[in-house]
């Protein structure tokens, strides 16, 4: 079933000059970018995006990181896009991510882990709507 997921190429990956490599990986597995932009999140925009994690001890540091420089946000579309992207990203902790995954290749540690991907259809709907109005998404 074709579905959409929200992906973020995080500030650490942008600083490493691997935007192109990551987008190539999406396209190679059939995750088609249907919306994309570079933006620099304010701390409050990052806090709103990660509100579900606000009770976690790493919340403040995560939001500082996500607002530390430009990131690329994308909507990816394809069959089982949510699961497919999570497999492509690998485990949250790059040290535990399988060979061939984005986080294995480009992540530094559990916080600076190169990419984000929605974890459920409900989350995808919230996250896509957080960054993109319908008129900025193309089929």
By annotation, the residues acting in catalysis are 116
Residues in 27-56 that interact with ligand CMP by CB under 6 A: 53
Q: Is residue 3 a contact point for ligand CMP (CB under 6 A)?
A: no
Q: Which is nearer to ligand CMP, 5 or 113 (CB)?
A: 113
The first and second tokens of residue 16, run together, are 């490493």
Q: Min. distance of Cβ 33 from ligand CMP in angstroms?
A: 18
Instruction: Decide if residue 80 touches ligand CMP (CB under 6 A).
Output: no
Closest approach, Cβ 108 to ligand CMP, in A, equals 10
Query: Nearest-CA neighbor of 118 among 10, 16, 15, 4?
Result: 4
**Residue nearer to ligand CMP on the CB measure, 23 or 62:** 62
What is the edge-to-edge ordering of all strands in the sheet holding 32-39?
Answer: 32-39, 71-79, 2-9, 115-117
Contacts 24+ apart (CB under 8 A), 88-94: 88/25, 88/26, 88/29, 88/31, 89/115, 89/117
Residue 110 interacting with ligand CMP (CB under 6 A): yes
Among 84, 103, 106, 116, binds ligand CMP (CB under 6 A): 116
- Can you give the binding site for ligand CMP, defined by CB under 6 A? 53, 58, 62, 92, 110-111, 113, 116
């Amino acid at each position: 079933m074709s579905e959409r997921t929200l992906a973020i190429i995080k500030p650490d990956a942008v600083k490493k000059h691997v935007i192109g490599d990551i987008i190539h990986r999406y396209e190679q597995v059939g995750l088609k970018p249907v919306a994309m932009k570079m933006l620099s999140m304010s701390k409050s925009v990052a806090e709103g995006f990660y509100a579900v994690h606000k009770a976690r001890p790493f919340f403040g540091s995560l939001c500082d990181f996500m607002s530390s420089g430009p990131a690329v946000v994308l909507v990816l579309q394809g069959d089982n896009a949510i699961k497919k992207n999570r497999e492509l990203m690998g485990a949250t902790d790059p040290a535990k991510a399988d060979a061939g995954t984005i986080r294995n290749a480009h992540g530094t540690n559990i916080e600076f882990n190169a990419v984000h991907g929605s974890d459920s259809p409900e989350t995808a709907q919230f996250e896509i709507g957080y960054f993109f109005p319908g008129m900025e998404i193309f089929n």
